[in-house]
Amino acid sequence: MKFRPSLLVVMAFAGFIAMSSCVKKYTCHCNIYYTGTPGLPDSTAQEYNITDNKNNATSKCKAESGTFDNNGIHTVETCYLY
């Protein structure tokens, strides 16, 4: 059986889509720094799992990053996919 070039292109494209949309378990690592009030911990770290494709997992993880102020406590949270 002879393969046609267009069939090979379609098969390669389908393979690429299948490989890039794989759902896997990724770990999001967040470093949390506190300032503003005496007695706060220097920093902490938290990790949690995200089950999604890599692009969505990265977006969800980075969305957890931010700077927050609450009752004089300044918190900086930096998250990245681990």
Which residue reads 């969505």 in tokens? 56
What is the C-alpha to C-alpha distance for residues 70 and 40, in angstroms, rounded to an integer?
A: 13
Per-residue pLDDT band at 74 (split at 50, 70, 90): very high
What is the C-alpha to C-alpha distance for residues 37 and 15, in angstroms, rounded to an integer?
A: 54
What is the C-alpha to C-alpha distance for residues 40 and 47, in angstroms, rounded to an integer?
A: 20
The pLDDT value given to residue 69:
95
The pLDDT value given to residue 12:
78
Summarize pLDDT for 1-27 with one digit per residue, the tens: 566 777 777 777 777 666 666 788 999
Averaged pLDDT, 39-55: 92
- CB 23 within 8 Å of CB 53: yes
